[in-house]
Amino acid sequence: MELDLIDVQFDLRSIKPRELEEALEDPFGVRFLPDTDRPDGAARYYALGRTVSDRYLFVSFWTDGKTVRVVAARNMTEGEQRFYDRKYAEFR
């Protein structure tokens, strides 16, 4: 996976690129695919993932299968974190 962080709309000092990669590669992460189909074939996703340092992140991104372009990233809300923890408990 190649991570594209050009012209991101969030502060890369608060969320490091390494943390984004860890959250996106989280084996227990949860991904959601929006309903809309795009004519260019790129799929837009929302992901809930956890980093190695135990930080919970919400990431909005699109991918064409080779490149991942992060649109937005932030810490999960309390409700999102509870949802992630429930899904994580199902996999363990």
Model's pTM, two decimal places?
A: 0.84
- Interior/surface letters 6-25, b for 16+ CB within 10 angstroms, e for the rest: eebebeeeebeeebbbbbbe
Determine the straight-line distance between the first and last CA of the chain, rounded to whole angstroms: 26
Q: Edge-to-edge strands of the sheet including 67-75?
A: 2-4, 67-75, 56-63, 43-50, 30-32
Specify the number of domains making up the chain: 1
**What residue numbers bound the domain in which 29 lies?**
2-91
DSSP assigned state of 66? S
- What is the pLDDT tens value at each position of the chain, 92 positions in all? 788 888 787 888 899 999 999 999 999 999 887 766 667 766 678 999 999 999 999 999 988 778 888 988 999 999 999 999 999 998 87
Q: Is the dihedral of CA 87, 70, 9, 4 positive or negative?
A: positive
